[in-house]
Chains A and B, each alone.
Chain A
Amino acid sequence: MRKSLVLTALFLLTISVSALTPARVGAQATPVTFTVGWGAAPMDTLNPTAITLYDGGAYVIMHLIYDTLVRADVNGDPIPDLAQSWTYTNSTTVVFNLVHNATWHDGEPFTATDVVYTVNTYLAHPEFPIMRLYVQNVKSISAPDNYTVQINLNTPDATFVSELLPAMFIIPKHIWQNVSNFTSYANSNPIGTGPFKFTSWGGVNSYVQLAANTNYFLGAPHIDQLVIRYFTSYSAMALALQSGEIDYAGPLFPPALVPTLTSTSGIQVVTRPDQRYYYFCFNEYPNGTGNPTLRDVRVRIALSHAVNITELNQVVWNGTFATPQNTVIPLTFAKWVNPNIQAYDFNLTEAAQILDNAGYKVGSDGIRVSPSGVRLSFKIEVPSDYTEEYRAAQVIASWWKQIGVEAKPEITDTGTLGNEVAAWQHDTFIWVWSVGEVVGPDYFLSMFKSTEAQPNPNGGLSDSGFMNSTYDQLYTQQQETTNTTQRQQIIWQMQQILHDNAVYIPLYDPSAVQGYRSDKFTGIPGGSLPPLNQYAANNLFLSVTPISASATVQTSQPMSQSNSTVAPPSNSTAATSTGISSEALTAIAAVVIVIIAAALVVLSRRKKSGATKTQ
Chain B
Amino acid sequence: MVSIAYATRKITGLLVTIFLVLTFNFYLFRIVPGNPFALLFRGAGLSANAVRSLNAQFGLDQPLWIQYVVYLRNTLTGNLGLSFQTRTPVTDMILPALINTVILLSAASIISIILGILIGILTAWRRGSKIDVGASATTLVLYSMPTFWLGLVLLVMGVIYFKLPVAGMRSFSGVAPGTIGQLIDLGRHMILPLLTLVLGLVGQYVLVMKGALLDVFTEDFMVTAKAKGISNRKLLWDHGFRNAVLPMVALVALNLGLSIGGAVQTETVFSWPGMGLLIYQAILSRDYPVLQGSFLVVTVAVIIANFVADMLYPILDPRVSET
Q: Does A416 lie within 8 Å of B166, measured CB to CB?
A: no
B38 at the interface (CB under 8 A from A): yes
Q: Does B87 lie within 8 Å of A53, measured CB to CB?
A: no
Q: Does A565 lie within 8 Å of B163, measured CB to CB?
A: yes
Q: Does A581 lie within 8 Å of B33, measured CB to CB?
A: no
B52 at the interface (CB under 8 A from A): yes
Contacts of A579 in B (CB 8 A): 174-176, 181, 184-185, 188
Residue of A nearest to B122 (CB): A602
A184 at the interface (CB under 8 A from B): yes
In the assembled complex, the CB of B128 is this many whole angstroms from the nearest CB of chain A, namely 15
Q: Does B277 lie within 8 Å of A567, measured CB to CB?
A: no
> How many residues of A sit at the interface, in one of the four size bands?
35 or more
In the complex, A573 Cα to B87 Cα: how many Å?
35
In the complex, A568 Cα to B44 Cα: how many Å?
39
Within 8 A of B (CB), among A574-593: 574-581, 583-584, 587-588
Given contacts A205-B281, A236-B155, contact A184 B87 (CB under 8 A): yes
- Please indicate which of the listed interface residues A235, A583, A606 has the most CB atoms of chain B within 10 Å of its own CB: A606
B236 at the interface (CB under 8 A from A): yes
Q: Does B161 lie within 8 Å of A583, measured CB to CB?
A: yes
Q: Which of A126-134, A147-155, A213-221, A395-403 contacts B (4 or more CB under 8 A)?
A: A126-134
- Please indicate which of the listed interface residues A207, A578, A598 has the most CB atoms of chain B within 10 Å of its own CB: A207
Could you say which of B45, B85, B163, B269 contacts A54, with CB atoms under 8 Å apart?
B45
Contacts of A209 in B (CB 8 A): 172
Q: Does B172 lie within 8 Å of A416, measured CB to CB?
A: no
Q: How many residues of B contact A (CB 8 A)?
A: 79
Q: Does B176 lie within 8 Å of A578, measured CB to CB?
A: yes
A342 at the interface (CB under 8 A from B): no
Could you say which of B48, B50, B55, B176 contacts A461, with CB atoms under 8 Å apart?
B48
In the assembled complex, the CB of A457 is this many whole angstroms from the nearest CB of chain B, namely 7
Q: Mark A415-458, 1 if CB is under 8 A from B, else 0.
A: 11111011000000001111101100001000000000000111
A233 at the interface (CB under 8 A from B): yes
In the complex, A133 Cα to B40 Cα: how many Å?
17
B12 at the interface (CB under 8 A from A): no
In the complex, A170 Cα to B223 Cα: how many Å?
83
Q: Mark A537-578, 1 if CB is under 8 A from B, else 0.
A: 000000000000000000000000001111110111111111
Given contacts A458-B55, A568-B173, contact A602 B167 (CB under 8 A): no
B78 at the interface (CB under 8 A from A): no
Which 7 pairs show the lowest CB-CB distances between chains A and B? A415-B34, A54-B45, A129-B50, A579-B176, A240-B166, A564-B163, A458-B51
Q: Does B43 lie within 8 Å of A243, measured CB to CB?
A: no
B314 at the interface (CB under 8 A from A): no
Q: Does A574 lie within 8 Å of B97, measured CB to CB?
A: no
Q: Does B48 lie within 8 Å of A459, measured CB to CB?
A: yes
B130 at the interface (CB under 8 A from A): no
Contacts of A203 in B (CB 8 A): 93, 96-97, 273
Contacts of B175 in A (CB 8 A): 573-574, 579
Q: Does B167 lie within 8 Å of A419, measured CB to CB?
A: no
Q: Does B163 lie within 8 Å of A566, measured CB to CB?
A: yes
Q: Name A's B-contacting residues (CB within 8 A).
A: 33, 35, 42, 44-45, 50, 52-56, 126-127, 129-130, 132-133, 183-184, 186, 202-207, 209, 225, 227, 229-233, 235-237, 239-240, 242-243, 245-246, 413-419, 421-422, 431-435, 437-438, 443, 456-461, 463, 563-568, 570-581, 583-584, 587-588, 598-599, 602, 606-607, 609-610, 613-614
B246 at the interface (CB under 8 A from A): no
- Please indicate which of the listed interface residues A237, A418, A434, A574 has the most CB atoms of chain B within 10 Å of its own CB: A418
Within 8 A of A (CB), among B217-243: 229, 231-233, 236
In the complex, A417 Cα to B125 Cα: how many Å?
58
Q: Does A574 lie within 8 Å of B162, measured CB to CB?
A: no
Q: Does B173 lie within 8 Å of A54, measured CB to CB?
A: no
In the complex, A132 Cα to B48 Cα: how many Å?
12
| Interface of B, helix, strand, loop or mixed by DSSP | helix
Contacts of B34 in A (CB 8 A): 413-416, 418-419
Given contacts A183-B87, A205-B273, A243-B163, contact A225 B172 (CB under 8 A): yes
Contacts of B166 in A (CB 8 A): 236-237, 239-240, 243, 245-246
Within 8 A of A (CB), among B173-204: 173-177, 181, 184-185, 187-188, 191
Contacts of B53 in A (CB 8 A): 126-127, 129
Contacts of B280 in A (CB 8 A): 232
- Please indicate which of the listed interface residues B36, B184, B229 has the most CB atoms of chain A within 10 Å of its own CB: B184
In the assembled complex, the CB of A396 is this many whole angstroms from the nearest CB of chain B, namely 20
B308 at the interface (CB under 8 A from A): no
In the complex, A109 Cα to B47 Cα: how many Å?
34
Q: Does A422 lie within 8 Å of B82, measured CB to CB?
A: no
Within 8 A of A (CB), among B45-82: 45-55, 57, 82
In the assembled complex, the CB of A224 is this many whole angstroms from the nearest CB of chain B, namely 11
Given contacts A572-B174, A587-B162, A598-B118, contact A232 B46 (CB under 8 A): no
Contacts of B163 in A (CB 8 A): 243, 563-567, 581, 583-584
In the assembled complex, the CB of B166 is this many whole angstroms from the nearest CB of chain A, namely 4
Contacts of A565 in B (CB 8 A): 163
